[in-house]
Every structure is written in C-alpha cells, then in structure tokens.
Amino acid sequence: MALFGSYRTKIEFDLIERRYHAFGLLRAADFAREINVDRLTVLEFGVANGSGLLNLCEVGTRITEVTGVKFDIVGFDTGLGLPSPKDFRDHPEYYSQGDFPLQNKDLLLRKLPENARVNFGNLEDTIKGFLNDVRAPIGFISVDLDYYSSTVDALSIFDGPSDLFLPMVVMYFDDVKRELHNPYCGELLAIEEFNNGHDFRKITKFNFLEKRRIFRNAEWIEQMYFCHIFDHAIRTNALKAKRGEILTRP
C-alpha cells in the first residue's frame, strides 16, 4: 500500500479537505458500527453556497466505502443569507444581514446526490417538520450559523426523542474561534444556555482529542464537540447490566 493510501489513514494525517467533516463522519460511523447501526443522518445547519454540504456528500461516500455505514445528509438554510442580528449576542461586529446567501439554488440541488437534500426556511419551522421524518439516527451535526439566535434554534433539534440520535452525537461548531468569540455571545453562549436548560442532553468539548491526533495544533480540533444523549436506551440499559469489572492492576 502506498504511503497515506487508505482513506482512514488520510484522515489520521489531516489530508482530507474540511478535516472536521472527515473526522466527524468517521467517528460517528465507527461508533454506529459498535452498536450495530448501519445508517446515519448527518445535518448541516448553515448551507450558504453549498460547498460544505457537497463536501459532506463526497466524504460520506468515501467513509461508507471504509465502514459500510451509509448516510442521509440534510442541510438547513433560509437560502437568503443571514437575517438581521437581534442584539450584541449575534456578533454584529462580525456578521450582518444578507451575508452568505445561496446564489444559485437550482445548481446546488442538481449537484446533490440522491441521499442528500436541503430544508429551506426558518429553523424553528423546518426543524419541527424534520423531526417527524428522521429516517436514521442522527450521528453528526455541523453548526455554521454565526449568530447566537440562530444557533439556539438549531439546537432545538435535540428536543426530539432519544431514539432519533446516537447516544453521543459528534458536532462541529464553526464560529467559536475568532478573537471576539466568547461565552457571552454567539454559538458559545447558545451551547452554555442549552446545557443549563437540559437535564438529559449536554454538549461538551471532545475530550483529549488533541492527544489522539498526529497534528495536535490543528485549529479544527478545538471546534469538535459531542452532544451526549443521557436518556438514550443504550445508556439507560447499561445501568441495568451487571458489570462486575475487576481491576487487574489496582
């Protein structure tokens, strides 16, 4: 095998475009296989011109070849660009109304494979309908919404029943890395408020991910999270199982 020949190895060496997509989908697929799930739903909140969504489709195809896990890929966007920021929490110093519009909707839709689609409209409306049509457990979510208010709407996806998700959902948050991003605004504030408002859903940083990567200083590592679904059947059933683990090296 040539150096860096396998797709999994290329992901390990950060050789794939949008590394966070490749790592996130692979981690979700590996976990799905551990619990005998052979199909996952992948969500992207914030499609803009569609380059990220198309990348998810391409990466998903390759990871299906590696793992056997198939993907349904769903984007969410108004198609009109960003709305007007509501207040300082939406980082108006960075973003403004009309930023990141979808310039050619028909072209994007023609490029999407059969396993991908886009839900157009306001998130508070499209998410409600989507939760009634989830065809496979949600395993990976990319959040690229810029605003606090939009991210709050996106995280309402986790108000769905536990069986719509993997026990842990891999997440990527795009807008947490600029100098003025902080826990009192934007996506970071939305995460904190989400955690404060939910007993059985908690979003946390991906523990020690930098220690597991070959290139430990890669920026995207700090953007990877999990949403833990604590009331998922796999977690609650584990409470009933008799483990009796014995330390061999106490």
Instruction: Note whether 203 and 171 are within 8 A (CB).
Output: yes
Q: Count how many Cα atoms sit within 13 Å of the Cα of residue 9 in the half-sphere of its side chain.
A: 6
Q: At a CB cut-off of 8 Å and minimum separation 6, what does 245 contact? A: none
Contacts of residues 123-127 at CB distance under 8 Å and 24 or more positions apart, as own/partner, are 123/45, 123/76, 123/150, 123/153, 123/154, 123/156, 124/153, 124/156, 126/76, 127/76, 127/153, 127/154, 127/156, 127/157
d(CA 66, CA 211) in angstroms, rounded, equals: 24
Token pair recorded at residue 216:
């430990």
The reported pLDDT for the residue numbered 148 is: 97
Instruction: Note whether 165 and 230 are within 8 A (CB).
Output: no
d(CA 229, CA 218) in angstroms, rounded, equals: 27
Token pair recorded at residue 31:
């976990």
The reported pLDDT for the residue numbered 1 is: 40
Give which of 74, 77, 83 is closest to 103, Cα–Cα: 77
d(CA 83, CA 127) in angstroms, rounded, equals: 17
State whether residue 227 is helix, strand or coil: strand
Encode the chain (250 residues) as per-residue pLDDT tens digits.
455 579 888 888 888 889 999 999 999 999 999 999 999 999 999 999 999 999 999 999 999 999 999 999 999 999 999 999 999 999 999 999 999 999 999 999 999 999 999 999 999 999 999 999 999 999 999 999 999 999 999 999 999 999 999 999 999 999 999 899 999 999 999 999 999 999 999 999 887 776 777 666 677 888 899 999 999 999 888 666 555 555 566 5
CATH number attached to the domain at 19-238: 3.40.50.150
